[in-house]
Amino acid sequence: MNRVKRQKMDTSEEEPRIVEVRRSSEWYEVTWNDGYTGRYPFVWLRDNCRCPLCYYPSSKQRCVLLSDIDVEIEPESEEIIDNGEELKIYWPDKHVSPFPSRWLYRNRFDKTQYDSVNDIKPKPWGSEMINQLPKFDYTKVMEDSRVLRDCLRSLIVSGIAMLTGAPKEQGVTEAIGKRVGHLRTTMYGKIFEVLAIASSSNLAYTTLKLGLHVDLPLYEIPPSIQMLHCIKQCETIGGESQFCDAMKVTNDLKESDPEFYDTLTRVKVDFRLRGKDFIPYHYQFARPIIELDEKGEFKAISHNNAVRAPYMNIPVEEAKNFYKSLAYLDRKLNDKENMIQFKLKEGEVVIFNNNRAMHGRSSFRMAQGYDEGKKTRHLEGGYLQWDVVKSAIRLLDEELDDITIH
């Protein structure tokens, strides 16, 4: 699917019109009334025929199969019709492909696909974030498209956002999931309750400190976004939330300690979790602590000490160097200048990029009377995937910025 920002050419009085079509051995050279000339290979034109036999109108999907297409195909003839608003191509098998001029103009080869999500750039942060946390009113996020879009955009820019004024009851995480798209299911189900319980299946369900970590790096595709909704906060000391931007810390590490950085981007670590919640599970995946994208830039952090497995795919002589590197990174993540700490208030929801904004929690104590069933601290959590969040942003951009898609 191709999308462009609404341009001058798109207004009805200035429709892009074809003024000339020249044929060469493998493509058409098409010139428009604004002087632009684009080349369109024959096989590409046949493959992208927009007629209802080749492109199913209600699903907006190609239904012609590659096996139906001859890669060497050449049109029999062509015709500019409606004063340059359409190009009709006649194929040897009598098939006819009508191409709206506007569609051809938008899908030109030398124009990279426009994706409004790509305009949003991440901005690394340190401890100053404590005073700059993007905050949004829960009700506005649920009702106002603009506020929802700002909130979702900030998940790309900062990797963290705070919603305030949510109900102090279960169901908020699920409601946000429905507002954005749908939640990512894990072995814990659609949502999870963070409560201190006996014989817990996860360290989070205790009163223990949780070091800065990402959730579930043992999945091949870990959860992208995590939400934690505070229903009840502990009245005792502790239970504070900590966050740290691993994009910033690993970028710093690349400059200051390139050998440590190199080790952490290279050595694959095994993450593993075996247990039972609704059903038994045994998840396992190996990945480097710092993952880079194809440009060699930060893609994801996968540090979680609780589920790092003993198995290491490195020579035994390299083990100590790996520990040195990881321990150094861990110290940097926890540095005062990199980390923020606050105690979630009841009715707040913190939403963050699970592959970038690492999270932790200080230990807390059970309230008196816990044994009688009183909840000391109660968070509800859920996950979203980037696909769903980015889809929501694109739809909101279409709605709010009047973007046309084809």
**DSSP codes, 295-338:** TS-EEEE---GGGEEEEE-S-GGGHHHHHHHHHHHHHHHTSTTT
Q: Are 359 and 238 in contact (CB under 8 A)?
A: no
In the complex, least distance from residue 392 CB atom to ligand OGA, rounded to whole angstroms: 23
Residue count at the site for ligand OGA (CB under 6 A)? 9
- Residue 194 binding: pick among ligand OGA, Zn ion, none (C-beta 5-8 Å cut-off by kind): ligand OGA
Which of the stretches 70-78, 120-128, 210-218, 275-283 binds Zn ion when contact is defined by CB under 5 A?
A: 210-218
In the complex, least distance from residue 379 CB atom to ligand OGA, rounded to whole angstroms: 5
Tokens of 223: 């959860």
CB contact burial 37-59 (16+ within 10 A = b; e otherwise): ebebebbebbbbbeeeebbeeee
Residue 243's Cα: distance from chain center in Å?
Answer: 19
Cβ proximity to Zn ion, 260 vs 382, nearer residue = 382
In the complex, least distance from residue 354 CB atom to ligand OGA, rounded to whole angstroms: 9
Question: Distance between CA 228 and CA 172 in Å, rounded?
Answer: 10
Residue from 86, 215, 245, 348 touching Zn ion (CB under 5 A): that is 215
Q: Are 347 and 164 in contact (CB under 8 A)?
A: yes
Residue 348 found at the interface with ligand OGA (CB under 6 A): no
In the complex, least distance from residue 75 CB atom to Zn ion, rounded to whole angstroms: 12
Cβ proximity to ligand OGA, 241 vs 385, nearer residue = 241
In angstroms, the Cα distances linking 4 to 113, 145, 340 are 8, 21, 39
In angstroms, the Cα distances linking 305 to 2, 121, 195, 220 are 42, 29, 21, 17
Stated as kind and residue range, the H or E segment containing 271 is: strand 268-276
Tokens of 45: 């034109």
Residue 49 found at the interface with Zn ion (CB under 5 A): yes
Question: Distance between CA 176 and CA 187 in Å, rounded?
Answer: 20
Cβ proximity to ligand OGA, 1 vs 198, nearer residue = 198
Long-range contacts at 369-376 (CB < 8 A, ≥ 24 apart): 370/196, 375/195, 375/232, 376/196, 376/207, 376/232, 376/234, 376/236
Question: Distance between CA 250 and CA 301 in Å, rounded?
Answer: 9
154: which residues sit within 8 A by CB, 6+ positions away? Answer: 134, 160, 161
Which of the stretches 42-50, 68-76, 114-122, 156-164 binds Zn ion when contact is defined by CB under 5 A?
A: 42-50
Residue 162 found at the interface with ligand OGA (CB under 6 A): no
- Residue 247 binding: pick among Zn ion, ligand OGA, none (C-beta 5-8 Å cut-off by kind): none
3-class SS at 292?
A: strand
Residue 54 found at the interface with Zn ion (CB under 5 A): yes
Residue 204 found at the interface with ligand OGA (CB under 6 A): yes
In the complex, least distance from residue 129 CB atom to ligand OGA, rounded to whole angstroms: 17
- Residue 51 binding: pick among ligand OGA, Zn ion, none (C-beta 5-8 Å cut-off by kind): Zn ion
In the complex, least distance from residue 381 CB atom to ligand OGA, rounded to whole angstroms: 5
Which of the stretches 211-219, 295-303, 308-316, 386-394 binds Zn ion when contact is defined by CB under 5 A?
A: 211-219
Question: Distance between CA 292 and CA 128 in Å, rounded?
Answer: 26
Residue 308 found at the interface with ligand OGA (CB under 6 A): no
Residue 358 found at the interface with ligand OGA (CB under 6 A): no
Residue from 163, 191, 379, 393 touching ligand OGA (CB under 6 A): that is 379
Cβ proximity to ligand OGA, 265 vs 304, nearer residue = 304
- Residue 289 binding: pick among ligand OGA, Zn ion, none (C-beta 5-8 Å cut-off by kind): none
Question: Distance between CA 227 and CA 389 in Å, rounded?
Answer: 13
In the complex, least distance from residue 204 CB atom to ligand OGA, rounded to whole angstroms: 3
Residue 184 found at the interface with ligand OGA (CB under 6 A): no
Residue 244 found at the interface with Zn ion (CB under 5 A): no
- Residues found near Zn ion in the complex (CB under 5 A): 49, 51, 53-54, 215
- Residues found near ligand OGA in the complex (CB under 6 A): 194, 204, 210, 215, 241, 359, 361, 379, 381
